[in-house]
Amino acid sequence: MKKIIGIGNALVDALVTLPNDDLLYDFGLPKGSMTLIGDDEQKRIQECFASLDVQRATGGSAGNTMLALAHLGAEPGFIGAVGDDTTGEFFAANCEKCGIEAHLTKLPVQSGIAYTFISPGGERTFATYLGAAAMMGPENLTAEMLEGYDYLYIEGYLVQNHALILRAVELAKEKGLKVCLDLASYNIVEADHEFFVRLVTQYVDVVFANEEEARSFAKTEPEEALEHLHQLCEVAVVKLGAAGATIMSEGEKVFVEAWPVEKVIDTTAAGDFYAAGVMYGLMNGHTLTQCAQGGTVLSGHVIQVVGTQLTENTWSKIKSLID
Which H or E run includes 62?
A: helix 61-71
Average pLDDT over residues 19-31: 92
- Number of domains, the chain: 1
Specify if 120 maps to a domain: no
Specify if 16 maps to a domain: no
Specify if 243 maps to a domain: yes
| Averaged confidence pLDDT in the chain | 93
Instruction: State the burial class of residue 163 (Cβ atoms within 10 Å of its Cβ: 0-12, 13-18, 19+).
Output: exposed
d(CA 72, CA 277): 9
Specify if 231 maps to a domain: yes
| Residues above pLDDT 90, as percent of the chain | 80
The pLDDT value given to residue 222 = 83
How do residues 245-297 score in pLDDT, each as one tens digit? Answer: 999 999 899 999 999 888 888 787 899 999 999 999 999 999 999 999 999 99
The pLDDT value given to residue 34 = 82
Specify if 53 maps to a domain: no
Order of all β-strands in the sheet with 245-249: 101-107, 77-83, 4-7, 151-155, 178-182, 206-210, 235-239, 245-249, 252-256
How many C-beta atoms surround the C-beta of residue 169 within 10 A?
20
d(CA 260, CA 242): 9
The pLDDT value given to residue 264 = 85
Which pTM does this prediction carry?
0.91
Specify if 180 maps to a domain: yes
How many residues are given for the chain? 323
Instruction: State the burial class of residue 263 (Cβ atoms within 10 Å of its Cβ: 0-12, 13-18, 19+).
Output: exposed
d(CA 25, CA 231): 41
Specify if 30 maps to a domain: no
SS3 260: coil
How do residues 88-114 score in pLDDT, each as one tens digit? Answer: 999 999 999 999 999 999 999 999 999
Instruction: State the burial class of residue 131 (Cβ atoms within 10 Å of its Cβ: 0-12, 13-18, 19+).
Output: buried
Specify if 99 maps to a domain: yes
Question: Which residues on neighbouring strands pair with residue 155, listed in sequence order?
Answer: 182
Residue 88 belongs to domain spanning:
4-8+61-108+133-322
pLDDT category at 55 given cuts 50, 70, 90 is confident
Is a pLDDT exceeding 80 seen at residue 307?
Answer: no
DSSP annotation of 259:
P
Query: For residue 177, what is the domain's CATH number?
Result: 3.40.1190.20
The pLDDT value given to residue 91 = 95
d(CA 111, CA 147): 27
How do residues 131-182 score in pLDDT, each as one tens digit? Answer: 999 899 999 999 999 999 999 999 998 888 999 999 999 999 999 999 999 9
Please enumerate in sequence order all residues whose Cβ is within 8 A of that of 129, keeping only pairs 6 or more positions apart, or say none.
Answer: 36, 37, 38, 41, 42, 110, 112, 113, 114, 115
Which H or E run includes 94?
A: helix 86-98
